[in-house]
Structure 1
Amino acid sequence: MSNGKMAIELLVEIVSDIHPYITAIHIREKQKRARELFQTVELLTKNNIPLSKIMINDRADVALVTGARGVQLAFHSLDAASVKEKFPKLRIGSSIHSYLEGRKAKEKGADYVLYGHVFHSQSKPGKSPNGLEELKKLSNLDMDVIAIGGITPVNTEQVLKAGAKGIAVMSGVLEARDPLLAVKAYRNALHNGGE
């Protein structure tokens, strides 16, 4: 997941190295306009990043125009049901913080939910984490739950045992000294934790 803090050229360089080891890249560049997001996707695809791995934060229009896999919706975004109705080919994720929000997202037609933040996170300083107990409840929704927030290779197994189908990581990869080595550590944790 991009963090909105780095030059797009550096992001593309990192993603070019790590994309064989990840299932999706979430373009989360809240300050960028539609044209800039479009250009980011173009740059990624010129560097052999498949559109099938690209999710766009909040902007269904950009996801549709670029041919990206889908859109990640937040509480302030368009309603998932409306996006699903108008753009049925897009994969739709909803960002949630509780079981109740997860249930609503499922009712609205989200394909998966992104739940967080699970643990203390650098991107949410001073905010208490939502924890593993709520994540355990979410496993009853019968939909994919992706966990985010303070996840490390060491605690990945706990997250999977609590019911997450996968993890999303920002600083643990993008701010690592060696992003490729970091991604491989997460991938190993996912495979070992899923057994």
Structure 2
Amino acid sequence: MTNDSIPAGELIKQIKAIASEVDFIHIRERSKTASELVDLVKNLLLEGVPKEKLVINDRVDVALLTNIHRVHLPGHSFSPKELRKKFPHLHAGVSVHSIEEAKAAEKNGAEYVMFGHIYATSCKPGLQARGVQLVKKLTSALTIPVVAIGGVTPERVPELKQANVKGIAVMSGIFAHHQPRMMAQAFSEKVKENPYEKAL
């Protein structure tokens, strides 16, 4: 997930570098205008970043203009069910911060929820982390996938897998690192690791 603090030219280079290592690239650039976001997405596509990997945060208009089929909605946004009535080709997930919000998002047609922040993180200074125990309760309460975000490091991935999350989202852990591709590889290796192999 992009962190809205890197100039567009550098951001394109970084995304291009990590694209083969990650399943999705979540474009979350809140300070950019619609026009700047459209240009960013168009340039990513021109640079060969696969369209299928791009997720647009909040800006459904930008997704529609650039023909990207995945959007991610804040918890206070409209319902994914309503969105798909108008645009059946769009896939939508929702950010949530409690079990109640997650259940509501599932009921409203979210294909997955992103839940956080799980661990203490510099992105949310002074805010209490929600912790892995709550993640376990959440994954048990829902039928749709849960993606964990917030303070996730490669070392913490096995613990999250044990909590039955279906994915992790990383912002500063990759985009604030001086070697984003190396970090993306480290996360990818941990995600693909079979937890049972070490017991054999």
Instruction: Pick the structure with greater CA Rg.
Output: 2
Q: C-alpha separation between the residues in 1 aligned to 2:38 and 2:24?
A: 17
Alignment of 1:42-191 (within 5 A): 42-140=42-140, 141-191=142-192
What is the total number of aligned residue pairs between the two structures?
Answer: 195
Matched, 1:11 2:29: no
Shift of 1:76: 2.9
Report the RMSD for the aligned CA atoms in angstroms. 1.2
Matched, 1:33 2:48: no
Q: C-alpha separation between the residues in 2 aligned to 1:77 and 1:30?
A: 15
Q: C-alpha separation between the residues in 1 aligned to 2:53 and 2:67?
A: 11
TM-score normalized by structure 2? Answer: 0.93
What amino acid sits opposite 1:34 in the alignment? A
Aligned residues of 1:97 and 1:115 also touching (Cα < 8 A)? yes
- Deviations 1:109-157 (CA, angstroms, capped at 9, x unpaired): 0111111110001111110111112211221211111110000001111
Greater displacement, 60-69 / 41-50: 60-69
What amino acid sits opposite 2:96 in the alignment? I
Structure 2 gaps, min length 5:
none
Structure 1 gaps, min length 5:
none
Shift of 1:193: 5.5
Aligned residues of 2:79 and 2:109 also touching (Cα < 8 A)? no
Q: C-alpha separation between the residues in 1 aligned to 2:118 and 2:67?
A: 31
Q: C-alpha separation between the residues in 1 aligned to 2:39 and 2:56?
A: 12
Aligned residues of 2:75 and 2:101 also touching (Cα < 8 A)? no
